[in-house]
Amino acid sequence: MMRYQILNALLHFLFFFIGAGIGSFLNVVIYRVPRGISVNNPRRSFCPPCQYQIPWYHNVPILSWILLRGKCANCGTSISPRYLGVEAFTGLMFYAVFWQFSGEWHEIADWGPMVVCLWVFMSLLIAGTFIDIEHFLLPEEITRNGTIAGILASLWVPTLQGEELWWRAGLMALASAAVGFGGLRLVVELGKLAFGRKKLVFEKPEAWSVTQPDENEPPIVTIGDEKIEWVDLFGMQRPTDRLVVTSPILRINDQSRKDVTVELYVETMKVIDSAGKVEEFNLEAVTKLEGKTTGVMIPREAMGLGDVHFMMMIGAFVGWKAVLFTIFAASVLGTLFSGFIRLTGRAQWGTKLPFGPYLAAGAALWVFYGPQVLNWYLNKVTGGDDF
C-alpha cells in the first residue's frame, strides 16, 4: 500500500513537469507558426534578437526563466513572461486532466488513453489561444490538423464522444465537427446581417490607400490614421462582402479619376463615376490605389473563419454537446470580460478582441465540468433524465 501511494505521488509531480515540457514546445509553436517559421528548423529554440541557439541547460521549463531572471543568457534581452506563463499553465492543465480522469497507477491501461487524448486537446487549445491573443488569427496548422487529431482520438477513445464502439465514435466525431463548423458559421452569418457594416463620414476629405508592402502578405487598407488588414475585411471570402469608398480624387496605377465611388471586393474592384458608368478591375492588375475619401462603408465580422475552424476542432474532439456548451460559455465569458476591460478603460469600445481564447475556455470548462452542469440544468428545468 505504501508503495502504491509513493508511486501515485510521483505521478502527480511527473505529469505536471511533462506538461511544463510540452508548454516549452508550445512556446515554439506560438512564436514560429504565425511567422511561417518551421518548428523543426532550427531544431533548438533561439533568441530572436541575437539568434543564439539556447542549450538544454538554459531551456529547462519554468526553472530556466526564473534563474535567468527572464533574460537571454547571451545578449541579456528580456524574455516575455508569456514563456513562463505558457509552461506553468500547460503543466497545471496536464495535472488537472490527470487528476480528473486518472485512477490508480496500475490501472493506467484504462485511463491512460483518455488522458493522453485530452492532453493533446489542451495543448491545441493553449497554442491557439496565445496565437490568437498575439496575432488575431488561428492558423490552419492548429485548427485543421487538430480536427484530424480529434477524429483519430475519438476512434481510439470512443468515450470522448460518449460512445462505446470505435466506428460510432468516428462517425460522431465527423458529425460533431460539422456541427461545430456549421453552428459557429451560422452565428457569424447572422451577426454579419445584424452588425456587418460600419459607416464613416468625414467633414474634410481623408487620405486612403490600398498597399501591399510584401507580396507574400495580404494588402492593407489605410483610411486616415486607421490601418485595416485585408483579412479583417474579407476573411470569410464572401463574394458579396465589399468595402465602399466615396472618393472625390482617385489614382489607379497611372490614371486619375474624380468624383467616383469605389467598391472593393475580395479579388476585384468596381469604380463608378457620377454618371453611373462602371469600370471593373482585377486587383492583381492594380499596382497603385490611393486617393481622398469623404465617406466609407466597411464590412466587418464578429469573428473570423479561424474561429469557425477552431470550433470544428473542438467538436471533433469532444462532441456536439460540447459544441453547444462551448458557444454559449464563450459568449458569456466574452461579454463579461470585454465589458469589464472596456468599463475599466483598458480597451476602447469597438476595439477588436480575439474570440478564440473564449472558445478555448468554454471547451476546457466542458472537459472538466460541462456534462455535470448541463445535466444539472436540464434536470432542474425539465425534471427529466440526463442529457
pLDDT confidence of 349, banded at 50, 70, 90? very low
Query: 2-6, 56-60, 226-230, 250-254: which range is least confident on average?
Result: 2-6
Query: 161-165, 197-201, 312-316: which range is least confident on average?
Result: 197-201
Q: In the prediction, which pLDDT does 266 show?
A: 87
The CA distances from residue 176 to 151, 155, 157, 204, 322, in Å, are 10, 13, 15, 52, 9
pLDDT at 9 over 80: no
Q: Are 161 and 176 in contact (CB under 8 A)?
A: yes
Helices within the chain (DSSP H only): 2-32, 63-67, 81-101, 108-135, 140-156, 166-195, 230-234, 305-318, 320-343, 356-382
Q: What is the mean pLDDT of residues 243-257?
A: 91
Q: What is the DSSP string of 66-97?
A: HHTTTB-TTT-PBPPHHHHHHHHHHHHHHHHH
Name the residue ranges covered by the structural domains of the chain.
1-111, 136-194+305-387, 197-299
pLDDT in tens, 75-90: 888 989 999 999 999 9
**pTM (2 decimals)?**
0.80
pLDDT in tens, 200-219: 888 899 999 998 877 777 78
- Which residues have C-beta within 8 Å of that of residue 165, sequence separation ≥ 6? 158
Residue of higher predicted confidence among 73 and 172 = 172
> Distance between CA atoms of 291 and 289, rounded to whole angstroms?
7
pLDDT confidence of 10, banded at 50, 70, 90? confident
pLDDT confidence of 11, banded at 50, 70, 90? confident
Share of the chain above pLDDT 70, in %: 88
pLDDT in tens, 354-384: 889 999 999 999 999 988 887 777 777 776 5
Q: Tell me the three cell numbers of residue 6.
A: 509513493
